[in-house]
Amino acid sequence: MLKILGLIFLFIYVIRPLFKLLFKSYIITQVHRQQSEQAYRQKETKREGSIDVDYVPPQAKSKPRSTKVDDGDYVPFEEIKE
């Protein structure tokens, strides 16, 4: 019986506060790490007044479009004089 009470006392007054302290310090460390990473990313943005041009890859030369219309048969037009 005394062992059970000792374990309960140990858990309530020693292990639980120790776990809370360690978990809280871990969370604080992670928050600071994320904040510093976010600050670093914001510094990488372009400075005011600078021009940022995105790279546009060159396009392959396409074949020139022919003027020939493939919609139907070509009928030569002649004017009829009266």
The residues, ordered by sequence, that sit 6+ positions from 46 with a Cβ below 8 Å of its Cβ are 52
| Model-wide pTM > 0.75 | no
> Using 50, 70 and 90 to split pLDDT, how confident is the model at 68?
low
Q: What is the pLDDT, as a whole number, of residue 20?
A: 93
Residue 19: which H helix or E strand, with range?
helix 16-43
Q: How confident is the prediction for the chain on average, in pLDDT?
A: 82
- pLDDT (average), residues 74-79: 78
Q: Among the ranges 24-33, 42-51, 72-81, which has the highest mean pLDDT value?
A: 24-33
